[in-house]
């Protein structure tokens, strides 16, 4: 199950995934915006690894970092662009 946060109009998916070749975890984030059709959404930021220089020993730590990074990405995007739904 992918945790989802809603920040203003943005839907933020954040998750942890196991890294290849080790028993560590990576933090991942994707950001979406709504469209006029409720069955679709616009992928603003494709799923990508955040805090790529850090590997987490537990899935919970990676999810927590992904959640924090997601909010920062939305804040940065909000300052750069004005979104009118």
Average pLDDT over residues 65-73: 90
**pLDDT tens for each residue of 8-67:** 888 999 999 999 999 999 999 999 988 888 788 899 889 999 988 899 999 999 999 998
pLDDT confidence band for 4 (50 / 70 / 90): confident
Beta bridge mates, 4? 13
Residue found under tokens 């998916």:
13
The answer to whether residue 81 scores a pLDDT higher than 70 is no
Which pair of tokens denotes residue 34? 């709504």
Please, are residues 13 and 47 in contact by the beta-carbon 8 Å criterion?
Answer: yes
The answer to whether residue 5 scores a pLDDT higher than 90 is no
Least Cα distance to 63 among 10, 8, 12, 20 occurs for 12
C-alpha 47: how far from chain center: 7
- pLDDT of 10 reads 87
Which pair of tokens denotes residue 58? 């537990």
């Amino acid at each position: 199950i992918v945790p989802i946060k809603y920040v203003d109009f943005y839907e933020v998916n954040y998750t942890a995934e196991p890294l290849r070749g080790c028993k560590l975890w990576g933090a991942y984030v994707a950001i979406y915006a709504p469209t006029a059709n409720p069955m679709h959404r616009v992928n603003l930021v494709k799923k990508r690894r955040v805090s790529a220089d850090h590997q987490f020993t537990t899935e919970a730590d990676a999810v927590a970092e992904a959640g924090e990074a997601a909010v920062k990405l939305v804040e940065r995007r909000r300052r750069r662009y004005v979104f009118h739904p």
